[in-house]
Structure 1
Amino acid sequence: MTNWTEHLPDAATTYIAGRRLDEVECIIADIAGVARGKAMPASKFATQANYYLPNSIFLQTITGEWADNPGGQFTEPDMVLVPDYSTTTAAPWTADVTVQVIHDAQDQAGNPIPIAPRNVLKRVLALYAAKGWAPVVAPEMEFFLTARNLDPNMPVLPPMGRSGRRAAGKQAYSMSAVDEYGKVIDDIYDFAEAQGLEIDGILQEGGAGQVEINLAHGDPVRLADEIFFFKRLIREAALRHDCFATFMAKPIEGEPGSAMHIHHSVVDIATGKNIFSAPDGSETEAFMHFIAGMQNHLPGAVALLAPYVNSYRRYVPDFAAPINLEWGRDNRTTGLRVPISGAEGRRVENRLAGMDCNPYLGIAASLACGYLGLIEATKPRAECTGDAYNIETDLPYTLNDALDLLEEDPALQEVLGEEFCKVYDSVKRNEYKEFQQVISPWEREHLLLNV
């Protein structure tokens, strides 16, 4: 093997410059977006030609159980992991000098594993490329900093701030609220800089201890990689300061949920122009088709945008979460918002995705809906110019219903890959079945002696 460190991004090269690289973490995202893989001495990584993991990691649920294999026999053949050196980044919270490298999954004949989330996103992008298009996305990440929660039976509490008081809600955009846990934010900045990850902005959201990080627009795979890295670095920064960072969609009762809003535009590869804008700056038919595709196919995609039973606790009125498929210009009550912008920056913001989704799958599903709209050339419903929160919708309100809607959308399944959709369904049905067997404190409190 040639010297692999010659292929590294600048930030990784700077991080290890003049120091002995101790360890390399070979990682890949599973269905939940959890980093799976193996760590090895850097000297071994430099000389080993191939790396392997069983394909069964994509059948693992969020609780660590194993879902049924819809493909038949459970033989767990090895996948070949191929390093994407362009993703190499520091792990600055470790004691030794360590870097992380995201790997792609191939079978032993060199074909992409269709159920690997990063490959699912690449599949969707390939469909765009075949039409001469390149999608551009800009994700927003919302999450909560919380007090350490060591007993799952106890409610999650906001963190203690530097003032000695717990963080308060309803302080959106407050600089003082962000300063309450400034040391965590400082470490997030430092870790991101060491990893070469660009932060477009950090702000206080409406929940107690809720933070939003905005990322600059760019290539969907690169942005999904960055969110994958960000989730880990944010958790590590929080642990340094005796608190947790959680990306649960709704971790605290009575507080808003955490979303991963996704801004989309599409560029014509030949001209470099945004296909949503005509030469005179007006909206194009393609722009309307993209919106229509999202309205028509997002019900089936919600299973990927809201992947857990807790995800659907976000979809309630009056908590700043969209519960509809309406679209509107500069209207935050609609699930599909068209932000104020110039012609070059014309885009659609999908406000349905939760921060608990796998970033590869959330972005892939959202782009898949827009792609189908461009192909089907349908028109959206009339623009919503008022309060859309009270408009009835076809969105599912439970994970089980969402999975049913995905099954009922063959066009969406074809774009994402039918084999992947079967595996995803198996994993999520298994998780839902596990949840159904849990008796909650609410049930014990209200039903034990009253029914």
Structure 2
Amino acid sequence: MTLSPTGSPTDEAQSFLDAHPRVEAIDISLADLHGIGRGKMIRRHELAGLFREGRGMPASLFAQDIEGNDVAGAIATQDDGGGDSLCWPVAGTLGRQPNGRGLVLLQMFGPDGAPVPHDPRGAMMAQIARARGMGFQPMGALELEFYLLDAAGGPARAPMGGRRMSSTNCMSVDELDEMSPFFDAVYAAAASFDLPLETLISEYAQGQFELTLRYRDLARAADDIVLAKQILRSTARRFGMRACFMPKPFAGRSGSGMHLHLSLTDPCQGTNLFADKDGVTSDLMLQAIGGVRGAMAETMLVLGPTLNSWRRLEGAIYSPAANSWGYDDRNVALRIPGGSPASRHFEHRVAGVDANPYLVAAVILGTALDGLETRADPGPEASAEGAPSLPQSWAEAIAAFAASDRMRRILGPDLQIALAAIKRHECARVADHVTDIEWQLYADL
């Protein structure tokens, strides 16, 4: 039986409890505007009630800065007096964590049963519903790049042999073997969530790795990233390590991105509508790329939400900051990978690993659908010509996002205003901080 507006069946809770008789507590987690999990730890006997009745939490969670402090400009978009709204489990996201507790993701709904307008997952689901109304089923996958560090912030030591990850070792299979006890534990935890972690790569810097995830329904693909990051963090703690999702934790080393692969299928036949036709790229996919390119400047705050995001985009290896597209070219923002013509899709390569996957999915899908509605021209290949220039800084990105009618329509006015207010607050706080390099360069002037 299903009572939840997310479609989560009530028997999912009992099936989990039967399969895990020793689990005594479950983390219930709502992704805020930063993608940070906010929620509660409930006891075993409370889980069935969550699935039957939901659980109250304040929508003010979506008006908090990255440290959990309320931001006045974001709170002003809410009129519920600080009361609770009902959160419901997201179907298929209940599993057992490496820490021995359960975990389930949530989405928030108002008293009328409609998604709370500030919830980023709700914004994504609205664009997925829009796509379905146009006759499309969005499909996707997100790649996850990250660093494994020790407690002091340096490269981690391998569980096998204790060697510090001190050289680049890009695509080294020996390095993967040295780290295998950690990743074996990650894969084991992922299996509990039916989380389709696939290829593992030693990436382009000391202690940097990439995990790819299976291509599937876009909503599940975004949920997959939220779950994968939580599993990686929890497992890393138990190995004396820290999973770092900063996009540019070290100057002079490779940044960490979160590339989104996207296509549209026929919801009845399941066929890929972006597939090549007689050896020619689909007009539908080119129009989608045109829509994404035309709005990229306005989406950059979602793709690069922190000051550290912009460090990754400033001089980056394989981290495109130009509004460009091309075939199988990792230097462009929007890449059409090679491979089977039947599985053709595009890869959006701009978002940093710090971005909220729900908001990333919402704005990329939303602007792609705009491109289909207007039959947008993608412009010349491997060029930013014909598209608006991109913001050159975090502050410019905040201003472009806040002024965007497209973002207001795609994300809703409350979410847009709240996110812009939070990021202005964060930007001002960072600007007010005197850095060590300023002391080094200017203290003796």
Please confirm whether the aligned pair reaches a TM-score higher than 0.5, indicating the same fold. yes
Is residue 433 of structure 1 aligned with residue 439 of structure 2? no
From 180, 183, 187, the equivalent of 1:182 is 180
Quote the Cα distance in structure 2 between the aligned partners of 1:261 and 1:2: 34
Structure-2 change in CA distance of 1:190 and 1:110 (3 Å)? same
Corresponding residue for 1:345? Answer: 343
Q: Deviations over 1:228-258 (max 9, x none)?
A: 1111110111111211111111111221110
Corresponding residue for 1:39? Answer: 41
Structure-2 change in CA distance of 1:18 and 1:383 (3 Å)? closer
Is residue 132 of structure 1 aligned with residue 138 of structure 2? no
Quote the Cα distance in structure 2 between the aligned partners of 1:251 and 1:318: 13
Please identify, of 128-137 and 70-79, the stretch whose mean Cα deviation from structure 2 is larger: 70-79
From 81, 98, 106, the equivalent of 1:75 is 81
From 70, 86, 109, the equivalent of 2:112 is 109
Corresponding residue for 2:154? Answer: 157
- Given that 1:31 and 1:358 are in contact with CA atoms closer than 8 Å, whether structure 2 keeps it comes out as yes
Taking the TM superposition and a 5 Å limit, the aligned residue runs for 1:299-310 are: 299-310=297-308
Is residue 141 of structure 1 aligned with residue 114 of structure 2? no
Quote the Cα distance in structure 1 between the aligned partners of 2:292 and 2:80: 36
Structure-2 change in CA distance of 1:146 and 1:21 (3 Å)? closer
Taking the TM superposition and a 5 Å limit, the aligned residue runs for 1:308-347 are: 308-347=306-345
Please identify, of 39-48 and 243-252, the stretch whose mean Cα deviation from structure 2 is larger: 39-48
Corresponding residue for 1:7? Answer: 11
What number of residue pairs does the alignment pair up? 435
- Given that 1:265 and 1:274 are in contact with CA atoms closer than 8 Å, whether structure 2 keeps it comes out as yes
Which residue type is aligned with residue 424 of structure 1? L
Taking the TM superposition and a 5 Å limit, the aligned residue runs for 1:240-279 are: 240-277=238-275, 279=277
From 14, 24, 28, the equivalent of 1:26 is 28
Please identify, of 309-318 and 156-165, the stretch whose mean Cα deviation from structure 2 is larger: 156-165
Measured after TM superposition, the shift of residue 407 of structure 1 is: 2.6
Measured after TM superposition, the shift of residue 364 of structure 1 is: 1.4
Is residue 118 of structure 1 aligned with residue 116 of structure 2? no
Structure-2 change in CA distance of 1:5 and 1:421 (3 Å)? closer
- Given that 2:320 and 2:331 are in contact with CA atoms closer than 8 Å, whether structure 1 keeps it comes out as yes
**Which secondary structure does the structure 1 equivalent of 2:126 belong to?**
helix
Corresponding residue for 2:103? Answer: 100
Measured after TM superposition, the shift of residue 393 of structure 1 is: 8.0
Q: Deviations over 1:351-379 (max 9, x none)?
A: 00111111111121221221111112111
Quote the Cα distance in structure 2 between the aligned partners of 1:333 and 1:229: 29
Identical aligned residues as a percent: 27
Corresponding residue for 1:153? Answer: none
TM-score norm. by structure 2 comes to 0.91
Structure-2 change in CA distance of 1:254 and 1:378 (3 Å)? same
Structure 2: state its 5+ residue gaps: none
Corresponding residue for 1:374? Answer: 372
From 212, 219, 222, the equivalent of 2:220 is 222
Which residue type is aligned with residue 12 of structure 2? L
Is residue 200 of structure 1 aligned with residue 206 of structure 2? no
Quote the Cα distance in structure 2 between the aligned partners of 1:350 and 1:408: 23
Please identify, of 356-365 and 266-275, the stretch whose mean Cα deviation from structure 2 is larger: 266-275
Quote the Cα distance in structure 2 between the aligned partners of 1:112 and 1:242: 39
Quote the Cα distance in structure 2 between the aligned partners of 1:2 and 1:304: 33
Quote the Cα distance in structure 1 between the aligned partners of 2:358 and 2:329: 27
**Which secondary structure does the structure 2 equivalent of 1:275 belong to?**
coil
- Given that 2:10 and 2:48 are in contact with CA atoms closer than 8 Å, whether structure 1 keeps it comes out as no
Quote the Cα distance in structure 2 between the aligned partners of 1:183 and 1:251: 25
Which residue type is aligned with residue 103 of structure 2? Q
Which residue type is aligned with residue 140 of structure 1? E
Please identify, of 178-187 and 435-444, the stretch whose mean Cα deviation from structure 2 is larger: 178-187
- Given that 2:262 and 2:347 are in contact with CA atoms closer than 8 Å, whether structure 1 keeps it comes out as yes
**Which secondary structure does the structure 1 equivalent of 2:256 belong to?**
coil
Structure 1: state its 5+ residue gaps: 150-155
Structure-2 change in CA distance of 1:324 and 1:60 (3 Å)? same
Quote the Cα distance in structure 1 between the aligned partners of 2:425 and 2:143: 29
**Which secondary structure does the structure 1 equivalent of 2:148 belong to?**
strand
Which residue type is aligned with residue 58 of structure 1? F
Quote the Cα distance in structure 2 between the aligned partners of 1:187 and 1:87: 18
Measured after TM superposition, the shift of residue 5 of structure 1 is: 8.3
**Which secondary structure does the structure 2 equivalent of 1:414 belong to?**
helix
Corresponding residue for 1:420? Answer: 415
Corresponding residue for 2:56? Answer: 52
From 42, 64, 73, the equivalent of 2:68 is 64
Measured after TM superposition, the shift of residue 44 of structure 1 is: 2.7
RMSD: 2.5
Quote the Cα distance in structure 1 between the aligned partners of 2:174 and 2:392: 36
Structure-2 change in CA distance of 1:47 and 1:297 (3 Å)? closer
Which residue type is aligned with residue 59 of structure 1? A
Please identify, of 229-238 and 48-57, the stretch whose mean Cα deviation from structure 2 is larger: 48-57
Structure-2 change in CA distance of 1:319 and 1:107 (3 Å)? same
Measured after TM superposition, the shift of residue 165 of structure 1 is: 4.1
- Given that 1:54 and 1:79 are in contact with CA atoms closer than 8 Å, whether structure 2 keeps it comes out as yes
Quote the Cα distance in structure 2 between the aligned partners of 1:253 and 1:74: 44
Quote the Cα distance in structure 2 between the aligned partners of 1:125 and 1:339: 23
Please identify, of 205-214 and 416-425, the stretch whose mean Cα deviation from structure 2 is larger: 416-425
Structure-2 change in CA distance of 1:177 and 1:47 (3 Å)? closer
Structure-2 change in CA distance of 1:431 and 1:377 (3 Å)? same
Quote the Cα distance in structure 2 between the aligned partners of 1:15 and 1:177: 37
Measured after TM superposition, the shift of residue 72 of structure 1 is: 6.4
Measured after TM superposition, the shift of residue 99 of structure 1 is: 2.0
Structure-2 change in CA distance of 1:350 and 1:113 (3 Å)? same
